[in-house]
Amino acid sequence: MTLAKRVFGLLLIVFVSLPAFAAGRKRLLAYYPDWAKDQTPAYDASKIPYTKLTHILHAFLLLDPSGNGALQIDPELIEPALTRNAHKAGVKVMISIGGADAEQATAFATIAASAHLRNTFAKNLHAFLVAHDYDGVDIDWEVPNAPDDTTHCTQLMEALRHELPSPRWLISMAIPSDPRGYGTGFDVPALAPLLDFINVMTYDFTGPWMDEAGLNSPLYQDPNDPEQAGSLKTSMDLFHGIYGVPRAKLNIGTAFYGYEFDNVRRLWNYCPSGDCSAAPSWNYGTYIKQRVNAKGWKRYWDGSAQSPYLLYQGTGGKDGLISYDDPISTALKTYYVLKTRDFGGMFMWDLSGDYDGKSQDLLDAMYAVSALVSH
């Protein structure tokens, strides 16, 4: 822990003297959800520090639930100031389609299974990108589940690449941290040549679907994790070492949120009756940050995973654990991804998650490291 603090302190010293990103920089992507405008405090295009980013992925444009290839455009999604401000700062903006929604997954499967619908969808998307001045698309199909989806998913991306040729248009996909255990439809080696980059969702390693209170987005696998659920490192080894995706095409994710597990007394403690389903997620900026060594919570550090967590030690018999990332763990992950392993980029879900009304501590930590290794 002493080394982690020392590294982070040095990064902060360097951070104040860094200019905006230079040419040849590593990617620093931000998922920016349209509902952030309705949060408290509100987060919109005017709040985004564009000079600290290279790409913004605007979430979510939706498929028509019928799966006919049409798009369902929420008027609240359209935010002209986003692309205008981003392009002025030299930042690319991509529209993200889909999300973790069963209805969207069904629509993707229907479209992908038909050559006609694939082409219809690709043309509708092309028209949307032109009309609203986006630079490309991020496909967030969570997740292909039928055996035939494997081929259909690749065919869908082929249709998009044909309609949206490189380098004019950017195409990316959000893919789970370990596709082998989640769905059936991602043939990563076949998809990689069609994409400009892949956003590996290296978070949600544990959560309310698990039996025990664990870490959300650890850098390394903790040997004490009874499920051995994974880590950034294990996912990076999978995508580059086993799937053979070039490092330059891989963006690795971190979380600006965490989970709170009630009635547990230590890390990897099983939830009562083995049921963690009541564990809510909380943003770092408006909930977790206020509880770091405050309000009865005490910060701890998992040295094996290089990840912090909070344990409740106040009065009232609450007992609980909050798994999260702080500026130190975020900086360490970013350095490992971009410098130690020389991967192409780093991203977060989501950009608004660490905003407390004044500052963005986690984004600042990411930017400090990203800018440092890009100069």
134: domain CATH number?
Answer: 3.20.20.80
31 with 351: CB under 8 angstroms? Answer: yes
In a domain, 115, yes or no: yes
Q: What is the pLDDT, as a whole number, of residue 84?
A: 98
In a domain, 136, yes or no: yes
Q: What is the pLDDT, as a whole number, of residue 23?
A: 42
In a domain, 306, yes or no: no
Global pTM value: 0.94
CA 129, CA 318: separation in Å to the nearest integer? 50
Q: What is the pLDDT, as a whole number, of residue 16?
A: 45
292 with 326: CB under 8 angstroms? Answer: yes
In a domain, 274, yes or no: no
Q: In sequence order, what DSSP letters do the residues of 13-36 get, joined into one string?
A: HHHTT--SPPTTPPEEEEEEEGGG
Q: What is the pLDDT, as a whole number, of residue 301?
A: 98
The SS3 call for residue 187 is coil
Residue with tokens 């987060």: 43
In a domain, 14, yes or no: yes
CA 240, CA 247: separation in Å to the nearest integer? 6
Name the phi and psi angles at 229, rounded to 5.
-75, -15
In a domain, 261, yes or no: no
Q: What is the pLDDT, as a whole number, of residue 10?
A: 53
In a domain, 123, yes or no: yes
> How do the pLDDT tens digits run along the chain, 375 residues long?
455 555 556 555 544 445 554 445 899 999 999 999 999 999 999 999 999 999 999 999 999 999 999 999 999 999 999 999 999 999 999 999 999 999 999 999 999 999 999 999 999 999 999 999 999 999 999 999 888 999 999 999 999 999 999 999 999 999 999 999 877 879 999 999 999 999 999 999 999 999 999 999 999 999 999 999 999 999 999 999 999 999 999 999 999 999 999 999 999 999 998 899 999 999 999 999 999 999 999 999 999 999 999 999 877 778 999 999 999 999 999 999 999 999 999 999 999 999 999 999 999 999 999 999 987
Q: Which residues pair with 93 in a beta bridge?
A: 56
Residue with tokens 């639930």: 65
Q: What is the pLDDT, as a whole number, of residue 375?
A: 74
323 with 216: CB under 8 angstroms? Answer: yes
CA 97, CA 93: separation in Å to the nearest integer? 13
In a domain, 354, yes or no: yes
Tokens of 328: 């130190």
Q: What is the pLDDT, as a whole number, of residue 25?
A: 80
CA 52, CA 100: separation in Å to the nearest integer? 27
Domain total in the chain? 1
Length of the chain: 375
Whole-angstrom Cα Rg for the chain: 20
Q: Which residue spans within 118-263 are E strands per DSSP?
A: 136-141, 170-176, 197-201, 250-255, 257-262
Cα dihedral angle (308, 310, 313, 318), rounded to 10 degrees? -150
Range of the domain at 202: 2-255+327-374
